[in-house]
Chain A
Amino acid sequence: MSNWLPRSAAGRRWLGLAPSYFVIGIFMLVPMVIMGVFSFLEPNPYGGVKPIGSLDAYVKLFFEYDLEDNLVFNPGYINIIFRSFQLSLGATLLCLIFGFPVAYFITLQPANRRNFYIYLVTIPFWTNLLIRTFAWIIILGRGGVIETPLLAMGIIEDSLRMMYTDGAIAIGLTYSYLPLMVLPIYASLEKLDFRLLEAASDLYANRFEVMTKVVIPLCKPGIIAGCLLVFIPCLGAFIAPNLLGGGKKLMLGSLVQFQFASARNWPFGAALSMLLLSAVVITLIFYARAAKKRAVLEGSA
Chain B
Amino acid sequence: MKRHLTLLSAATAMLISGSSMAAEELFIYNWTEYTPPELITKFEKETGIKVSVDTYDSNETLLAKLQAGATGYDLVVPSQNFVPILVSEGLIQKVAVHSLANYKNLEERWQKPEWDPEQEYSAPWQWGTTSFSYNSENYSGKGTSLKEFFEPSEEVRGRLSAFQTPDEVVSLANIYLGIPFCSEDAKQMKKVQDLLVGQKEFVVAYNSETMSDLLTSGEAVITNHWSGFSRLGRLTGAPIVYAYPKEGVVGWYDSLVVPTSAKNVENAKKFMNFMMDPVNMAMLTENQGYGDAVKGTAAYYSDELKSAPEINPPADLNVFFAPTCSPKAQSLIDKVWTKVMQ
Q: Which residues of A contact B (CB under 8 A)?
A: 45-48, 64, 67, 76, 79-80, 141-143, 159, 161, 163-164, 242, 246-250, 255, 258, 260-265
Contact = CB atoms under 8 A, between A and B. Distances in A.
B63 A262 contact: no
B342 A76 contact: yes
Nearest to A144: B217
10 contacts: A67-B186, A80-B342, A159-B218, A246-B161, A246-B204, A246-B206, A248-B341, A258-B337, A264-B60, A264-B63
B207 A48 contact: no
Contact of B67 (A48, A142, A164, A262): A48
Given A161-B158, A249-B342, A242 B60 contact: no
Given A47-B67, A261-B58, A262-B337, A247 B342 contact: no
Interface in B322-342: 327, 330-331, 334-335, 337-339, 341-342
Interface in B177-197: 186-187, 190
A64 B67 CA distance: 27
B334 A263 contact: yes
Contacts of B167: 262
Nearest to A66: B186
Contacts of A64: 335
A79 B205 contact: no
A185 B331 CA distance: 47
A121 B184 CA distance: 54
A30 to B, nearest CB: 15
B89 interface: yes
A163 B341 contact: no
Nearest to A67: B186
A242 to B, nearest CB: 7
Nearest to B216: A143
B334 A247 contact: no
Contact of B205 (A45, A67, A143, A246): A246
B88 interface: yes
A262 B60 contact: yes
B12 interface: no
B217 A262 contact: no
Interface string B165-184: 11100000000000000000
Contacts of A246: 161, 203-207
Contacts, number: 87
Contact of A248 (B60, B200, B335): B200
A246 B88 CA distance: 35
A257 to B, nearest CB: 10
A47 B64 contact: yes
B148 interface: no
A41 to B, nearest CB: 14
A60 to B, nearest CB: 10
Indicate the member of B67, B68, B203 with the most A CB atoms within 10 Å: B67
Given A143-B218, A262-B166, A46 B207 contact: no
A141 B187 CA distance: 40
Interface string B85-107: 10011000000000000000000
B64 A141 contact: no
B9 interface: no
A159 to B, nearest CB: 8
A25 B281 CA distance: 50
Given A141-B217, A164-B205, A262-B166, A250 B63 contact: no
B338 A250 contact: yes
Given A45-B330, A142-B217, A247 B166 contact: no
Contacts of B158: 161
Contacts of B337: 258, 262-263
A45 B85 CA distance: 10
Contacts of B55: none
B219 interface: yes
A163 B219 contact: yes
Nearest to A134: B210
B334 A265 contact: yes
A173 B219 CA distance: 22
Contacts of A258: 337-338
B165 A141 contact: no
A270 B286 CA distance: 43
Given A64-B335, A76-B339, A248-B341, 8 more contacts: A46-B67, A48-B68, A80-B342, A163-B205, A247-B164, A248-B206, A249-B342, A264-B63
Interface in B66-87: 67-68, 85
B153 interface: no
A155 B194 CA distance: 40
Contacts of A261: 58, 60-61, 64, 165
A58 B328 CA distance: 20
Nearest to A246: B205
A247 B63 contact: no
Contact of B88 (A46, A164, A262): A46
A247 B208 CA distance: 11
A213 B200 CA distance: 49
B184 to A, nearest CB: 12
Contacts of A76: 338-339, 342
A163 B203 CA distance: 12
Interface string B19-52: 0000000000000000000000000000000000
A161 B205 CA distance: 12
A260 B63 CA distance: 10
Contacts of B334: 262-263, 265
Most buried by A among B88, B206, B335, B338: B338
Contacts of A247: 164, 205-207, 341
Contacts of B67: 46-48
A238 B206 CA distance: 13
Contact of B341 (A161, A249, A264): A249
B37 to A, nearest CB: 22
